[in-house]
């Protein structure tokens, strides 16, 4: 589904996939981040971690291969690869909390200009739980958030401060939205606009962003 | 010679269940849950249970069974999004809920089983999870203290086990089961396959039998939450 300006969900996933480097151990969240696996660049070999206890996550099974003892963190049936290994939940989160995973790509409901992320709870509505999200943003070396730039009402999701309960504080390194890419390097406190999606003008981004960014 | 082997899930749970007990149940989603032991716990009639489990099952299966019968007073979990009866009871104020980040939950159970009363982690710093918890700075970075968890009874699902309780787990059905086996005052295990001593390669035992007090072979339904497949091209 092509958009006239800006990126589709699949475009955002494709752009996020450009952040994967050869040899990386990678954790992908649910939603748009899951689509990243379809766009891993040629010549880049990565190992996908599933936090329920597997490294080297393979594709979905054929109907006659489905195994109830082999699922991913989204509870979907999957398969193993020649490189795969299985482990318990404590070892799995030792990988995540111990800083052994190179990159986490995850969805977000809000991001703050200081790199806080909120993606697990909307007070007053049903609360499903954070699962492994708080561990991932606290422990993984580099965290990339993927989200629509504005909510359905058109309000900015990139804010001075998150209004929703936080998943983690000062932990996001890059934000990819339908309008562009926003990143900050090691030790930088503010995000700068590093890319605009096709057909998107800086003025549009400025108009749709409440967060204080380094513009241009 | 005393035996760890029981003939049925009901027999394996006999004498262990009481009102107000704390139970751990292994599994991630419906994968690797001790489904027969959970049913036996329901049948025991024990009330006001505190259940420590990553998830809360689904309606009518896994820990969902104990929610239907209102035997659970409190859940300690990381994600409970797949259960409508849970949602209804929680929103009606009939059920207590303590969310733990998944890695914190795993580590709390590991610590509890290893005799470690508390530890520090970065996970949850600056979030509601940190509310009321002691913090400490290490090398200029803030960490929060989390405590170890134990249970009166740990319910574990393994793939193969021998009569001494040495266990092997299968694929991602391992998840929380090995840590929970260490953290129960009494650990009860259901296995797909009970084997004689010597049949498991000692080099590939995941959980040593010292952590296991009771073991039973039981047939599992192994329901799948989200069957996801691809087409042969």
DSSP letter string, B79-95: --TT-HHHHHHHHTT-S
Q: With an 8 Å Cβ cutoff, are A138 and B121 in contact?
A: yes
Adjacent-strand bridge partners of B195: B162
In a domain, B207, yes or no: yes
pLDDT tens digits, A100-111: 999 999 999 999
Distance linking the first and last C-alpha atoms of chain B: 58
Nearest CA distance, A165 vs chain B (angstrom)? 7
Element (H, E) at A22: none
pLDDT for position B81: 83
Would you give the distance in Å from CA B189 to the centre of its chain? 11
Answer positive or negative: Cα dihedral of A195, A201, A203, A207: negative
In a domain, B77, yes or no: yes
Q: With an 8 Å Cβ cutoff, are B123 and A80 in contact?
A: no
pLDDT tens digits, B136-168: 999 999 999 999 999 999 999 999 999 999 999
In a domain, B13, yes or no: yes
In a domain, B10, yes or no: yes
CB A191 within 8 A of CB A111: no
Dihedral, B212, B193, B204, A89 alpha carbons, nearest 10: -60
In a domain, B35, yes or no: yes
Expressed as residue numbers, the domain containing B50 is: 5-217
Distance CA B168, CA B193 (A): 10
In a domain, B228, yes or no: no
Is A51 labeled as catalytic in the residue annotation? Answer: yes
Using a CB–CB cutoff of 8 Å, tell me whether B4 touches chain A.
Answer: no
Distance CA B79, CA A15 (A): 29
Distance CA A137, CA A189 (A): 17
Distance CA B87, CA B58 (A): 11
Residue B26 belongs to a domain with what CATH number? 3.40.1080.10
pLDDT for position A2: 52
pLDDT tens digits, A130-156: 999 999 999 999 999 999 999 999 999
Q: What is the largest CA-CA distance in chain B?
A: 58
pLDDT tens digits, B68-94: 999 999 999 999 987 888 888 988 899
- CA-closest candidate to residue A114, choices A170, A167, A37: A170
CB A120 within 8 A of CB A168: no
Number of domains in chain B: 1
Band of the pLDDT at B1, cuts 50, 70, 90? low
Distance CA A26, CA A20 (A): 8
Distance CA B60, CA B64 (A): 5
pLDDT for position A1: 47
Residues of B in contact with A128 (CB under 8 A): 79-81
Nearest CA distance, B2 vs chain A (angstrom)? 30
In a domain, B211, yes or no: yes
In a domain, B110, yes or no: yes
Instruction: Pick B51 or A1 by higher pLDDT.
Output: B51
């Amino acid at each position: 589904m092509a958009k006239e300006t800006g990126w589709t969900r699949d475009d955002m996933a494709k752009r996020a996939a450009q952040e994967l480097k050869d040899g990386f151990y990678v954790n992908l969240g649910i939603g748009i981040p899951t689509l990243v696996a379809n766009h891993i660049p040629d010549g880049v070999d990565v190992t996908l971690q599933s936090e329920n206890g597997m490294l080297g996550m393979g594709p979905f099974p054929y109907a006659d291969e489905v195994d109830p003892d082999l699922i991913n963190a989204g509870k979907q049936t999957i398969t193993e690869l020649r490189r795969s290994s299985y482990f318990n939940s404590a070892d799995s989160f030792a990988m995540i909390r111990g800083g052994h995973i190179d990159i986490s790509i995850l969805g977000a409901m809000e991001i703050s200009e200081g790199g806080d992320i909120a993606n697990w709870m909307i007070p007053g509505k049903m609360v499903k739980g954070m699962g492994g999200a708080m561990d991932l943003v606290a422990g993984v070396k580099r965290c990339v958030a993927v989200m629509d730039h504005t909510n359905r009402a058109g309000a900015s999701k990139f804010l001075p401060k998150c209004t929703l309960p936080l998943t983690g504080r000062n932990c996001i390194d890059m934000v990819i939205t339908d309008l562009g890419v926003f990143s900050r390097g090691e030790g930088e406190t503010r995000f700068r606009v590093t890319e605009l999606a096709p057909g998107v003008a800086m003025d549009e981004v400025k108009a749709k962003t409440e967060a204080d960014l380094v513009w241009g | 010679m005393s035996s760890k082997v029981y003939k049925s899930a009901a027999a394996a749970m006999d004498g262990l269940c009481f009102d107000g007990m704390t139970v751990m149940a292994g599994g991630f989603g419906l994968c690797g849950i001790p489904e027969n032991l959970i049913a036996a716990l329901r049948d025991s009639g024990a009330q006001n249970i505190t259940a420590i489990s990553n998830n809360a099952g689904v309606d009518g299966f896994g820990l969902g069974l104990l929610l239907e019968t209102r035997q659970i007073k409190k859940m300690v979990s990381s994600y409970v999004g797949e259960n409508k009866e849970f949602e209804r009871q929680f929103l009606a104020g009939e059920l207590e809920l303590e969310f733990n980040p998944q890695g914190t939950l795993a580590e709390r159970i590991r610590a509890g089983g290893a005799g470690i009363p508390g530890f520090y982690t970065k996970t949850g710093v600056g979030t509601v999870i940190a509310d009321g918890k002691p913090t400490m700075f290490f090398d200029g970075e803030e960490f929060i203290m989390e405590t170890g968890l134990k249970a009166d009874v740990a319910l574990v699902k393994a793939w193969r086990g021998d009569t001494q309780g040495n266990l092997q787990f299968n694929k991602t059905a391992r998840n929380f089961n090995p840590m929970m086996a260490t953290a129960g005052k009494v650990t009860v295990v259901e296995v797909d396959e009970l084997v004689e001593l010597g049949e498991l390669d000692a080099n590939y035992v995941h959980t040593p039998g010292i952590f296991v007090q009771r073991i039973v072979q039981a047939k599992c339904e192994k329901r799948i939450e989200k069957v996801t497949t691809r087409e042969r091209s």
